[in-house]
Amino acid sequence: MAALRMLWTGLVLLGLLGFLQTPAQGHESVHPNFQQDKFLGRWYSAGLASNSSWFREKKAVISMCKTVIAPSTDGGLNLTSTFLRKNQCETKIMLLQPIGLPGHYKYNSPHWGSVHTILVMETNYNEYALLFSRGTKGPGQDFRMATLYSRSATPKDKLKKKFISFSKSMGLTEEDIVFLPQPDKCIQE
């Protein structure tokens, strides 16, 4: 009986370790045959959905940002985002490091002290991209975020519907979803 309990415990732990090492498996598969070079260029963050407490507190005041994606020297991506904050244009640069398969990235946030796994779940490269990220800010503070990137600052309604469906499939709720308004400056097309 003790051997059976140890075997069961070992299998459960292996399953947990496998989940932690590959946080996005199963229904969370990345875009097939993802081509990073086609993903480069200018995108607009048209929609966000998250279960994080920070996002829920700030979602009413967040606006769209423009992000330029370029290759990094390590095979990953440099994301340079320009956004409006306190009536000023600010720029933030993020380095996404490749992990595993194409379309899988990791980002270490120096500001929050958190680690994010970011996946390009679906894209047609010339119109939209759906990204999903998971992270941990501290013990017991796991969060999920879905992002709708659009090549245009005014995404079509069909993309918004697709994003709502995608966000819900990732375990987020209608209350977690926001479509970001365009600010008067900082993101000119």
**Residue 168 class from Cβ within 10 Å (0-12 exposed, 13-18 middle, 19+ buried)?**
middle
Residues identified as active-site: 65
How many CB atoms are closer than 10 A to CB 12? 10
**CA gap 46, 167 in Å, rounded:** 13
Sign of CA dihedral 44, 49, 54, 59: positive
Angle at 60 between CA 57 and CA 65, to 5 degrees: 105
Angle at 32 between CA 78 and CA 123, to 5 degrees: 55
**CA gap 9, 164 in Å, rounded:** 38
How many CB atoms are closer than 10 A to CB 71? 13
